[in-house]
Amino acid sequence: MSTHPDTGRGADPRRRGIAGWFDPRGRRLGGWAFALNRLSGLGVLLYLYLHLVILSTLASGAGAWNDFVALASSPVVLAFDVVLLAGLLLHGLNGLRVTLMGFGLVTGHRNAMIVALVLIAALVALGGAARIFGMV
Amino acid sequence: MTTTVDPAVRAAGAATRVLRVTRTPRGAGGDGGGGDLARQHGRRGRSDGFEVPAGSARTTVLDALTWARTHLDPTLDVRHACYHASCGTCGVRTDGRAVLACVTRLADLPEGDITVEPLRNQALISDLVVDIEALYEGFDAVGMPLVRESRTVPGSRPAPGVEGLTRFEDCIECGLCVSVCPIEASDAAYEGPAVLAAAWRVVEEPRHADPERAFALVDGDQGAWRCHLATECTEVCPSGALPAEGIMHLRRGLLRHRFRVAFARLRVGANGAGEPGGTP
């Protein structure tokens, strides 16, 4: 229903806007999954732009690229890689959950799916971290 | 922040709890009026404390609120009617959670002061009373009948001498689902979980209502496709109406409906090529 032109009903200033996505009070598991999907989506989008900026250093010559590669090998940047991996996993698996439920499938197991996707993402991200830091 | 106390209760040494109630005078809410009052009191309202008796384990938030209104502050606005989770009028947020005040016991809430706030995402009339007219406009738009064809709850037996039961829709129109929906928080134009679930009930069980009308209403950017499956609506629903599941069923129904319409048009094209105005 859209905002009523005479009464303004629907345009309630008490709506918190985007802050309402992340208010932790009274939030249940599905709400956390929703917030996580938004955050990871924004993070992945930010990474996409960052990735394009980084690739553009190739246009500045081999020296600039080698400098970036040296920076990318530092532990701090590698830690960011692990965060990126976790974000991609969470967003992708959460998207799969939303798709399944969007088709009306497994709606009775909505919370179990969230727990499962977080566990899978954590396990794969830990494995990825071990690999990225050369432990395996 | 002040706390209003009844000296008699204090003197009796009875067990008490303190309700911290968000107060907003009439005209200062989000109802489109009272701009000066809104500036004076702020959008969030002020918080008043009320010390209320809590000796019985059965005392509910609504008992405590009506007691505070009767004994401490008659200007405290609270809406209620049935006291048993049927009318859906006493929805509030206690400690941030949307609940029906009439079936939420003080003893079940965490120790310490209890915050009591109005529901979110609905225009505020005053104190704990929100404007439900927009919600009812949505219900009217989809045209959901209130009495179900399936008259009995599965497994239930009418009492001896009772020939039949009238079973109403599960939704009690309390608006808790609207309050907890994160999409409602950021998009006033979203039709919302209660109305979408009602539209699904029309499609599922038309009862002489028009499913086509319901489909037309919800098949848009602000309709069934706007839901992002936080499923908070289903979790909070006090009557088992399952709004999130209803929205998902509605989506599947919409897809089937679109395919049916598309195939009907194809058939028309095949049967009467070049003859606009042909009937399916």
Structural domains in chain B plus CATH codes: 3-130 (3.10.20.30), 133-273 (1.10.1060.10)
Going by the DSSP 8-state scheme, the letter that residue B106 receives in this structure is: G
- Mutation site for A-interface testing, chosen from B24, B120, B229, B255 by largest number of A Cβ within 10 Å: B229
pLDDT of residue B167: 83
Going by the DSSP 8-state scheme, the letter that residue B118 receives in this structure is: P
pLDDT of residue B40: 45
Taking the CA of residue B269 and the nearest CA in chain A, the distance in Å comes to 30
Task: Give the torsion sign (CA, A60, A66, A71, A73).
Answer: positive
Question: Token pair for residue B94?
Answer: 């206690």
In terms of average pLDDT, the best of B159-173, B190-204, B206-220, B245-259 is: B190-204
Whole-prediction pTM: 0.84
Taking the CA of residue A78 and the nearest CA in chain B, the distance in Å comes to 32
pLDDT of residue A89: 97
**Is the Cβ pair A31, B180 closer than 8 Å?**
yes
pLDDT of residue B157: 77
**Facing residue for A20 by CB, picked from B138, B186, B231:** B186
Taking the CA of residue A39 and the nearest CA in chain B, the distance in Å comes to 14
Taking the CA of residue A3 and the nearest CA in chain B, the distance in Å comes to 6
pLDDT of residue A14: 66
Question: Can you tell me the mean pLDDT for B186-205?
Answer: 94
C-beta of residue B160 within 8 angstroms of C-beta of residue B106: no
Pairing outcome for strands B3-4 and B97-100: unpaired
Contacts of A23 in chain B (CB under 8 A): 96, 185
pLDDT of residue B90: 98
B9/A contact by beta carbon, under 8 A: no
Which residues in chain A show pLDDT less than 50? Answer: 1-11
CATH classification number, A28-132, choose in 2.60.120.560, 3.40.50.620, 3.40.50.2300, 1.20.1300.10: 1.20.1300.10
Contacts of A10 in chain B (CB under 8 A): 123, 134, 188-189
Give the angle B243-B245-B249 at the CA atoms, nearest 5°: 115
Residue with tokens 């050369």, as numbered in its chain: A134
Least confident of B156-165, B234-243, B259-268: B156-165
Mean confidence (pLDDT) of chain B: 87
